[in-house]
Amino acid sequence: MTKPVLAIAALGGTVSMQAQAGHRGVMPSLTGEAMLAAVPGLSALADVHAETLCLRPSASLDFEDLLRLLDWANRQVDSGAQGVIVTQGTDTMDETAFFLDLLWEKDAPLIITGAMRAATQPGADGPANLLAAAQVALDEGSCRRGVQVVMNDQIHSARYVSKCDSLAVHAFASPLFGPQGLIIEGRAVYLKPAHTRSTLPAPERRHHHIALLEATLGDAPLILERVVDLGYSGVVIAGFGAGHVSREWAQVIGNLAATIPVIVSTRTGSGSTARETYGFEGGELDLISKGARMSGLLSARKARILLWLLVGCKREGELEDWLAPTY
């Protein structure tokens, strides 16, 4: 019986890290092929094609790396891969997943996984996460679900997953929404149906920048006042509470919104921005009247990625539609 084909791209991260002589701390060193050797039973599931695209901590990845990864993943599916897995560091995994999900047009699943413990640490979780990712990628129920994150035997939607703990093995969660599914006895068990997805084309423009600023108590809007002069094409603000800023920040936002797109999110880590509740200067009603867009349930980090892609595709006029709730 012919086994399905599974493509795995290794980008580095904790899942690839080991202690090395002469260095303090662990560093990326394991190739994709070396990681596969530590995963019992994987070769019985599929014919695996693994390729090491880079060995970096995920904080050093950039959008160009992800666009090259996207091209690679598309070629793998066009060549017959049933699913694609990406191993990378967890620090930016939620951002990477959302970026790729906005561009992934294939029905085939694209799964992102990694590890919270380095390969040489006791209880290293990389092999188990990689096996679980393979089980999800090969499951027919994973088709047409876009990009998903598989960590700690949970399957998370790229839109809502977040890294919620700095070091714990159970670091990933989807606040409010919960996981899309679980891995139970080696099978992907989905708790929620797949939803219709919209995607964007690869951006034509790739050298622009979107600022992300957090509102904090008593802070003057000195940086916010300079974002256009600094060359930014848009700005996302992680605001207080349901998407609020000080009166001073609100006044600057009113000037900026006439020139570049401005999105206001919440810095709380969970919950939605408001639209029709608070009317004080710096509240959401005031900010909307000044031309800012509220991000709703989309986090500030992901709103920045969405805006970068929309500007790159010259479709920033569609921003309000893309920020509309998706459940």
Residue whose tokens read 């090969």: 138
Render the burial of 80-102: b for 16+ CB within 10 Å, e for the rest.
ebbbbbbbbbbbbbbbbbbbbbb
> For residue 21, what pLDDT is reported?
65
pLDDT of residue 31: 85
End-to-end CA distance of the chain: 39
Q: Which of 14, 87, 113, 266 is catalytic?
A: 14
The single residue listed with the structure tokens 């999110």 is 265
- Specify whether domain 210-322 bears CATH 3.40.47.10: no
Which residue bears the tokens 């600057």?
Answer: 252
Strands (E), the chain: 5-12, 17-19, 26-28, 47-56, 83-87, 110-113, 147-151, 154-157, 162-163, 172-173, 181-184, 187-190, 210-214, 234-239, 262-266, 293-294
What six digits make up the tokens of 134? Answer: 């393979």
**Domain pair 5-190 / 210-322, same fold:** yes
User: Would you kindly state where each structural domain of the chain is located, as residue ranges?
Assistant: 5-190, 210-322
pLDDT means over runs of 10, the chain (327 residues) = 93 83 78 85 93 95 98 98 97 98 98 94 94 98 98 97 97 97 98 94 97 98 98 98 98 97 97 96 98 98 98 96 78
pLDDT of residue 44: 92
Could you confirm whether 113 is annotated as catalytic? no
Residues across the chain: 327
In this structure, are strands 147-151 and 26-28 parallel, antiparallel, or unpaired?
unpaired
- The pLDDT tens digits of the residues spanning 160-192 come to 999 999 999 999 999 999 999 999 999 999 999
Instruction: Give yes or no for a contact between 163 and 172, defined as CB atoms under 8 angstroms apart.
Output: yes
Which pLDDT does position 324 carry in this prediction? Answer: 82
What gap in Å lies between CA 322 and CA 306, rounded to an integer?
A: 8
Interior angle at CA 268, CA 262 and CA 270, nearest 5: 100
pLDDT in the model for residue 327: 53
Residue recorded with tokens 């017959």: 80
What one-character DSSP code corresponds to residue 191?
S
Task: Write down the pLDDT at residue 32.
Answer: 86
Q: Give the pLDDT score at 41.
A: 87
Reported pTM: 0.96
Classify domain 5-190 at the CATH superfamily level: L-asparaginase, N-terminal domain (3.40.50.1170)
